[in-house]
């Protein structure tokens, strides 16, 4: 397994942009090995100093995320990774968890992660579920998406607020009346709220 990780480090370090190669390899490995092996592989790969290999690892973790210990590792450890590209994959892998669990069944975890003290954990949800109202459950319950997102409109992290604003903007394409009604209640003298408002209204008249 160590030799395999070394081969991944060699191959992936040549990739400068994107994530499709890492995602494709992770899915293929997940499908061709037993769960115990993949868990060990994912944890070993995550120790790599090559960020592309950690991205590969986080894809694997997403496929394994129905196991609570894996989800906790994603929430508590992967969210501390200092590479923004790894954080992008954490967002994708949280969405993978929701897909496997069922979005309605995953709501308690969605809410828990959105209340985390770590901005990367909060953003994994706001970013990972975009476009929220294209996802099952939220597609039929757009207000459930809006209500969750607006709870973070004053988030201390600009990184999170930008994700929230963009998510609300995307929802406004299908449900402008719902977004307009929500935004009409906001106090725009608040700098943080105003930033989210400006992003959310980008496509609104």
**pLDDT band for position 205 (cuts 50, 70, 90):** low
pLDDT, tens digit, 9 for 90 and up, residues 108-153 = 999 999 999 999 999 999 999 999 999 999 999 999 999 999 999 9
N-term to C-term CA, the chain = 56
Please, what is the average pLDDT of the chain? 97
CA atoms within 13 Å, Cβ hemisphere of 107: 10
pLDDT, one tens digit per residue, over 13-43 is 999 999 999 999 999 999 999 999 999 999 9
Q: What is the pTM of this model?
A: 0.95
Q: Which long-range contacts (CB under 8 A, 24 or more apart) does 16-21 make?
A: 19/55, 19/59, 19/85, 19/88, 19/89, 19/92
Tokens 């590969």 -> residue: 56
- Tokens matching residue 91: 């967002």
Q: What is the DSSP letter of 138?
A: T
Residue 204 pLDDT level (bands cut at 50, 70, 90): confident
pLDDT score recorded for residue 203 = 79
pLDDT classification of 44: cutoffs 50, 70, 90: very high
**CA proximity to 101, closest of 110, 114, 113:** 110
């Amino acid at each position: 397994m160590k030799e395999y990780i070394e081969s991944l480090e060699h191959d992936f370090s040549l990739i400068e942009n994107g994530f499709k190669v890492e995602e494709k390899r992770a899915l293929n490995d997940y499908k061709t090995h037993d769960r115990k092996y993949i868990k060990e592989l994912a944890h070993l790969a995550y120790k790599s100093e090559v960020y592309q290999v950690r991205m590969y690892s986080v894809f694997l973790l997403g496929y394994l995320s129905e196991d609570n210990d894996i989800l906790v590792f994603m929430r508590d450890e992967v969210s501390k990774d200092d590479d923004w590209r790894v954080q992008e994959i954490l967002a994708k892998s949280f969405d993978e968890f929701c897909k496997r669990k069922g979005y309605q069944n995953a709501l308690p975890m969605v809410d828990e992660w959105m209340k985390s003290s770590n901005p990367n954990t909060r953003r994994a949800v706001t970013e990972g579920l975009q476009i929220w109202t294209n996802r099952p459950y939220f597609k039929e319950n757009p207000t459930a998406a809006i209500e969750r997102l607006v709870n973070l409109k004053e988030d201390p992290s600009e990184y999170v607020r930008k994700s929230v604003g963009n998510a609300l903007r995307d929802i406004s394409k299908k449900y402008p009346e719902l977004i307009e009604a929500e935004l009409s209640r906001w106090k725009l003298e608040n700098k943080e709220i105003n930033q989210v408002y400006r992003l959310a209204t980008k496509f609104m008249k």
